[in-house]
Structure 1
């Protein structure tokens, strides 16, 4: 048991160092080069330290997750409306994981380092090596997510792609149904404008990055996975209802 405890302490120390390095590198891009607006941060206050699943729309591969980590680290220090001075990087929250496609975590030394900071890498069930595929969920992937939820917070992107209004993947609903976590929706905007697709290079400086953290969902865990997925997609504003709203707004602008 003592050996396991020592390994866990060493692992957490390694993650703190990685989070600190990544945090220092990425902080200026969020609050100095661009403008970060956080709403609903108070919804993080009373969450337990485990079995919490954050679901969000997706606009870049890495900038989205990096921003969430900054926000969660700041919340640990009692900051819910903004990041302020990043002293929170001296002792960041370590029980946070995020789900990422395995193929995106091997590109550069930076992404490989980022993977060590808490990535749960999964195989895409619909795409591999740039080609469309059809395959079922890997049981090993779902087990890894379940283990992470057992004592941590987990961030996932139900669409699995940065394409807006792409359909959600049933895997997220299966995970919710099986593990019955507290599900917290997050809606982001502006990241696609500020960063390139990977989220590691600037595209337009001075952009407004908005992060809206909503109240936990009231979920019927006995409901069919399709119903749970619909609820999740609606909460992150990526359902057909929101897609139609977006089209209606665009048409009204064109008509003017």
Structure 2
């Protein structure tokens, strides 16, 4: 690597590498220490191509979700199976991993700006700004930035655009999928909003069982699937379709209670 080699966004890769290393070291115990991250499906990561991969996920905190994915992705690429044991994997991280985030969030302080250098594609939300509902046009420069990141590597996005569960999927994600035809990998997370504050910076509660399931890539017919078809596939794959809001059976309730005992958390 050249000393001042840059990625397509102008970030110096050596600086980005050291930021990821440092943040990885100081956050590792949040997922393997204070709490325990249970991982499923890491073999999917090992079989993905170098670029044009889009990870779609439900969203629970501003930053902890992405940090956990950086840990899991790099651990998986280093040969670990459903584990982030031993932090050595962070020494040589994958540098072409990006994540979509709200521009106002990434400019809200020094720490978010450091996070942004590690891989943020900062976009202007079309429906929310400064805590208020808005209605504005999508900026083509934001779409171009996501396309540039997909061409270079992997992109993480949260298609609901909010940490509130069961909110509608934003159609912009479906348009990007249809236009750029990435491999789409669903990720389902849980336990993060119980263990962290909303920003995902402060450990709110310890001994929480966190989980991350990496599913097989979606089967998408890029030419014939409609935007609505793709939205529905996203909803089901990240378990945010309204059908998941259903009346539970007695057995399901008992299973959930048993799981909550493991999580040491009373809902």
Counterparts of 2:55 and 2:39, CA distance in 1: 15
Residue 136 of structure 1: CA displacement?
2.4
Q: Is the 8 A contact 1:148 1:154 kept in 2?
A: yes
What SS is found at the alignment partner of 2:245?
Answer: helix
**Structure 1 residues 81 and 7: alpha-carbon distance in aligned structure 2, compared to 1, 3 A threshold:** closer
The secondary structure found in structure 1 opposite 2:108 is coil
3-state DSSP of counterpart to 1:19: helix
CA drift of 1:43 comes to 1.0
Shift of 1:80: 2.7
Contact 2:98–2:121 (8 Å) recurs in 1? yes
What's the secondary structure of 1:53's corresponding residue?
strand
Does 2:106 align with 1:100?
no
Between 1:175-184 and 1:7-16, the stretch displaced more is: 7-16
Write out per-residue CA displacement over residues 66-94 of structure 1, whole angstroms, 9 at most, x where no aligned residue.
00000111122111310111001211110
Is 1:33–1:205's contact at 8 Å kept on the other side of the alignment?
yes
1:227 is aligned to 229
- Residue 161 of structure 2 corresponds to residue 152 of structure 1: no
**8 Å contact kept, 2:186–2:216:** yes
Following the alignment from structure 1 to structure 2, what is the Cα–Cα distance between the partners of residues 249 and 184? 30
SS in 1 for 2:146: helix
Contact preservation (8 Å) 2:36, 2:209: yes
Q: Deviations over 1:127-159 (max 9, x none)?
A: 111110112221111110001000200000000
What's 1:132 paired with?
133
Q: After superposition, give the CA deviation of every residue in 1:164-214 in whole Å (9 maximum; x if it has no partner).
A: 101010010011001000000000000010001000001111101100000
Instruction: Output the TM-score relative to the length of structure 2.
Output: 0.89
Query: Aligned with 1:154: secondary structure?
Result: strand
Alpha-carbon contact 1:36-1:208 (below 8 Å) kept: yes
Q: Is 2:45–2:77's contact at 8 Å kept on the other side of the alignment?
A: no
Give how far 1:10 is off: 7.5
Unpaired runs of at least 5, structure 1? none
Residue 253 of structure 1 and its aligned partner are, at CA, apart by 4.8
* Contact preservation (8 Å) 2:5, 2:14: no
Question: What is the TM-score of this pair, normalised by structure 1?
Answer: 0.92
CA–CA separation in structure 1 for the residues paired with 2:84 and 2:75: 6
The answer to whether structure 1 residue 248 and structure 2 residue 248 are counterparts is yes
Tell me how large the CA RMSD over aligned residues is: 2.0
Shift of 1:107: 2.3
- Asked if 2 retains the 8 angstrom alpha-carbon contact of 1:54 and 1:186, the reply is yes
Aligned twin of 2:76: 75
Unaligned runs of 5+ in 2: 255-267
Q: What per-residue deviation string (whole Å, max 9, x for no partner) do you get for residues 48-77 of structure 1?
A: 010000000000000000000001111221
Q: Separation in 2 of the partners of 1:63 and 1:95? A: 19
